[in-house]
Structure 1
């Protein structure tokens, strides 16, 4: 996992890093021999003496750069830096925002899983494997998924046994099962179960997917049976007999010469590599052919054409002018719906995060960002229930209000939905905006006499929400922002407010 802070300073040529200056990542604790840390605004990975030769060879052979060039691995390079306890220091490009799989739409989950398998396939072709099979090692850089955990790369023989990937069960529980459940329309259920570190258990998956036929029978089989079933699919019939004989010959190695042992070892490795690679490719095909719900189908994406000040509405033109004048480095669009304003911000050069509680809207925006190569990270999230910190010392999740802070927050056509549908008070809403905003907030207030709020103009609502006024809203805004300016010449009777801390 990576820090979510951006890069600040250039990489020095050679220097000794003080223990006091290295800030180790709180999530990087699984292996003390390989740890992430930040130093002088940059992200590094320290590699201990035991594993140093292995990773140095990967860099020297060009394997790491090849994976970077394929846009599968985050940019990584060797440095001449030193740190006590770590023989090798690697520099990584930071991903601006960290997101978690429970926040991704189903299309993002599928693409992230395919990226994990593509990375594994490239490693397998080089005689390597992955120690982990979970999506915590995938981060979205805008719309693009990248593998970020260099320390998970291991020699193939360590994590592949009889063609079986040791992390396969973990892969199923954190990637495959959630994806299948979401594809079956059980999106909310999948997200709730994915919160657990171990993912979705096989027993829960089987209970939630009745009638899946042969797939269920294979899942229920014990490991050896599953292995045999997999081998029958993977190994050509005419080769099974020869393979069986060869593995039989490998058993009594104690009586053989060193040359014979080495020959058999090389042959065993090559056979293992070949069929492990085929296993991963078959697994990728299974993931690729999972059919997403119609509303998530990219070919049926109904998101509107790109909006801008030239071809959009008056409101879009106003927002475009604000973004052009203030030039925020990063923008968070809360309640983004189809993401029109997120698209405008990204087209003007901002790094954009956009979230909505409707997975369909998020999926449409994700496809739009991919198609138009816009720097937008779309997420499924409810503003009134953002992802909280979770786990001991935030080991599992860092709170969304900390991870997704942006220089500017957009909250357009949102306040009335929050108040009348989810019932938070202005104080709660504005406090949430302030937690996400580093500097600016652009927020739209729609009064209760607006035509869009006809259903809320009955005496029942007017008495219950008598506090829903522009004056009350401004008073609360001024508690969290030093400057609150009302934009003149806006669409009446609505009000657009620009707030600055």
Structure 2
């Protein structure tokens, strides 16, 4: 979407060094004069070029003063003299929508990036999980203004925030199965040492795995006072120290995160899905062929796969050249799909989202982090084996489901109609035989035809199901 006026990102207001905004279909960042020398030196260094090439940081260029865009930006922001242009990302996600390994990989990126920066006398001044996005299932650091000259070389001032935003949530998931969604939606700043201490347990926190990063940090946090904070700041500013101590600590944290990542194995529940579903071999093949044929013919650039499960149809969509946003309520499905997409570098972003209760706008004025529905619109939506779940489990009406899908797609919808007689539908109904007695294929077509045009209807062999290719009116 082209914007004639700069549109400031609602979540970019905390850093006095600058802010992010959208202008003329591009993503820009204004940089304050006092921070510009550091940014300019970094972006012109071989280090930054290597980081960009490796995919660790967002591609960024300085807007030249001779560029007409620079003049227009100055007209809108006369108090700023320096601007950066970033490569736009197809999708934006937040830590509370990530799986365990996504959060772990974002943590590892921070640690490895900090070690690289130290080699050239730079440092990350903070360690927020919100400074990371994902591109082709790979974590990428996006906050250029978080890079600065280190106040000291022997310690990392962002260590405490790293624990709150990464280490403690990872430990909470392993010990109590608390997902990033449960943790970060309650607090955008992550977990405090005290919260981690009580989640893990006082006795367990004495174990070697937790002692240094949880128990000792809890004691420090418990005993801290304003006078001690002021005294500590003075002492920190006295000496820059030697980087070897910090490098050793970063290496220790990296080993710890890697061990935590290896400890987590998804349950086998996701693996049984194909066995439990009602398709015969012919039906399963026919369904996949239909989806592939329609996508190959229509060639949507972006696809939203709702209820993606193990990602079979997300892979088909990616194979036709689409950038895919794949969502599901099952953490292990998203975890497995992310691991596979990351390893194969597929253009798939798996997220943990309940489409019947999607992520709301959160943070300051509920605008700091945008709602999922604002970020999810795509040229094509896949709603396969989803309709009966929304009808029965979420108790949504057929019309409300239609309107939701119409709002999410820009052009087309591939949806699977599931008849009430279908075994999976009957399983969901359980003791509620009184529900949806009037549901028929004709009612489905009549309801969806108010917002969509039926392009093709395809009954799936050996089932009570039918696939529809619909075009948005």
Superposition map of 1:5-404 within 5 A: 21-80=5-64, 81=67, 82=70, 83=74, 84-157=78-151, 160=152, 163-188=154-179, 190-195=180-185, 196-210=187-201, 211-212=203-204, 213-214=206-207, 215=211, 216-222=214-220, 269=240, 271-291=241-261, 295-296=265-266, 313-404=285-376
Normalized against structure 1, the TM-score is what? 0.80
- Partner SS, residue 187 of structure 1: coil
Among 455, 464, 467, the alignment partner of 2:435 is 464
Q: Gaps spanning 5+ residues in structure 2: where?
A: 225-234, 275-280
- Partner SS, residue 479 of structure 1: coil
Could you tell me which residue of structure 2 aligns to residue 418 of structure 1? Answer: 390
- Partner SS, residue 396 of structure 1: coil
- Partner SS, residue 430 of structure 1: helix
- How far off is 1:469 after superposition? 2.4
Q: Using the alignment, how far apart are the partners of 1:315 and 1:287 within structure 2?
A: 40
Q: Using the alignment, how far apart are the partners of 1:430 and 1:292 within structure 2?
A: 41
- Is the contact between residue 21 and residue 27 of structure 2 (CA under 8 Å) also seen in structure 1? yes
- Is the contact between residue 456 and residue 462 of structure 1 (CA under 8 Å) also seen in structure 2? no
- Partner SS, residue 89 of structure 2: coil
- Could you tell which deviates more after superposition, 28-37 or 214-223? 214-223
- Is the contact between residue 459 and residue 465 of structure 2 (CA under 8 Å) also seen in structure 1? no
- Partner SS, residue 86 of structure 1: coil
- How far off is 1:203 after superposition? 2.0
Q: Using the alignment, how far apart are the partners of 2:216 and 2:267 within structure 1?
A: 28
Per-residue CA deviations over 1:264-291 (Å, capped at 9, x if unaligned) read: x9xx54x432322222222111111115
- How far off is 1:321 after superposition? 0.2
Per-residue CA deviations over 1:213-242 (Å, capped at 9, x if unaligned) read: 24253233326999xxxxxxxxxxxxxxxx
Q: Gaps spanning 5+ residues in structure 1: where?
A: 10-19, 227-250, 252-264
Per-residue CA deviations over 1:42-62 (Å, capped at 9, x if unaligned) read: 111121221112211112233
Q: Using the alignment, how far apart are the partners of 1:425 and 1:311 within structure 2?
A: 27
- How far off is 1:359 after superposition? 0.6
- Could you tell which deviates more after superposition, 395-404 or 428-437? 428-437
- Partner SS, residue 116 of structure 2: helix
| Aligned-residue RMSD, C-alpha | 3.1
Q: Using the alignment, how far apart are the partners of 1:225 and 1:187 within structure 2?
A: 27
Alpha carbons of 1:442 and 1:224: their partners in 2 closer, same or farther (altered >3 Å)? closer
- Could you tell which deviates more after superposition, 57-66 or 403-412? 57-66
- Partner SS, residue 221 of structure 1: helix
- How far off is 1:295 after superposition? 3.6
- How far off is 1:325 after superposition? 0.7
Per-residue CA deviations over 1:324-344 (Å, capped at 9, x if unaligned) read: 011010001000111100001
- Partner SS, residue 242 of structure 2: helix
Could you tell me which residue of structure 1 aligns to residue 228 of structure 2? Answer: none
